[in-house]
Structure 1
């Protein structure tokens, strides 16, 4: 083998190693996109702190739920999507059902910002009590996935994970990869907890909202 060939092979090997390292760094690195906390959020902060504390107690994840509202509507009470409305983007059927498990929220009114704040705090807590996971980070990923797509998907997705040898108690790298949802719903549902927990919650904590990042 000539010296020139050896040099080329070494160069190619170095390129492969560098590419692999860059890929690993990209996976491990937190999202770099800057997030601005909307000024409108200040109008609802006291109400959100009160409702999250009422539902979760002393270690209330206020910044986490604030990040969730940011993801849902960017703090716009009049926000409307294809299926959901209001600050916390409830569908009409879910809004009508919620008082049966969260009577304190009052009659359904997702257009009302105060109702939406009571509703998202109570609904998150209701889901949280019904899911278990290996870590709090994984548990909250399950909670947010259920809020976005319905809690009924959690046991189905876990069953698919188990059938393929994955751990049903881990969201990241395990259950998150399994579902029979339509592709566009799958993409939205899986990006939902990732964006809230890894990008938005840290931004709200940096802005001074109460709470501690659950995924680090």
Structure 2
């Protein structure tokens, strides 16, 4: 009996301890790695889902748009004529404010059309009916957007209507003067000053990088992503995509 107890109390060999330590480490490591991998996978899946939901929201027409559809159509045709690109202007309002009448940007742009205070005052000098300067009024804002677009449209030359509207939108976002300077720079560098996409849009006559990136993304998103959305929804024709048959 004494010999049995002595054997039981004999110190465990170092090799056994080492094996036990390795086994414990293996189990713990894989348990926690599996746990955190599971958590990580779940977090990634949630982030992807949120991104998809955000994208779906961004690429769908807000319900608020329907309240202003008739007024935008009227204002667009008043400025551009019966063949007005209503879907294009609807896409622009979407980009500017997502059809929120009371929208105010961080820099002070206001209303559906996101006019800055100085531009709101200026458009009233150009179009007497807009002298009231009420950017939070939907009718005023949509008329101002259409009239400003037409004013810019009349002052840019391009190869076709799609390129011309891209320049018009770039002017709305960043000012006509910058569009003209960028076109002049493009011409000096041997590019086509009458083509926006792939030509003039590559040249920066002096804007800050952030402003330049925003300005270049503005016509691309409106004409390439949002205009087709409104055409498919039956808002009429666009400039860069033929309206779908009703």
TM over 0.5: yes
For residue 49 of structure 1, what is the aligned residue in structure 2? 73
Distance 2:86 2:241 in 1: 15
- 1:8-19 pair list within 5 angstroms: none
Q: Cα offset for 1:159?
A: 1.3
Q: Cα offset for 1:52?
A: 0.4
- 1:61-140 pair list within 5 angstroms: 61-83=85-107, 84-140=109-165
Distance 1:71 1:45 in 2: 15
Q: Cα offset for 1:140?
A: 0.4
Distance 1:66 1:106 in 2: 23
Please give the TM-score of this superposition, normalised by the length of structure 2: 0.72
For residue 230 of structure 2, what is the aligned residue in structure 1? 204
Equivalent residues of 1:86, 1:110 under 8 A apart: yes
Equivalent residues of 1:52, 1:121 under 8 A apart: yes
Equivalent residues of 2:227, 2:241 under 8 A apart: no
Relative to its length, the structure with more helix (as a share) is 2
For residue 213 of structure 2, what is the aligned residue in structure 1? 187
Equivalent residues of 1:106, 1:115 under 8 A apart: no
For residue 13 of structure 2, what is the aligned residue in structure 1? none
Q: Cα offset for 1:62?
A: 0.7
Distance 1:57 1:104 in 2: 18
> Which residues of structure 1 form unaligned runs of 5+?
1-32
Q: Which runs of 4+ in 1 moved over 3 A?
A: none
Please give the TM-score of this superposition, normalised by the length of structure 1: 0.82
Distance 1:48 1:198 in 2: 20
* Paired positions, count: 184
Distance 1:136 1:148 in 2: 18
Q: Is the partner of 1:127 in helix, strand or coil?
A: helix
Q: Deviations over 1:165-213 (max 9, x none)?
A: 1111110111101111100000100000000001101000101101135
For residue 7 of structure 1, what is the aligned residue in structure 2? none
Distance 1:215 1:142 in 2: 16
> Which residues of structure 2 form unaligned runs of 5+?
1-54
Distance 1:101 1:213 in 2: 25
Structure with larger Rg: 2
CA change 1:213–1:122 in 2 (3 A) is closer
Equivalent residues of 1:102, 1:123 under 8 A apart: no
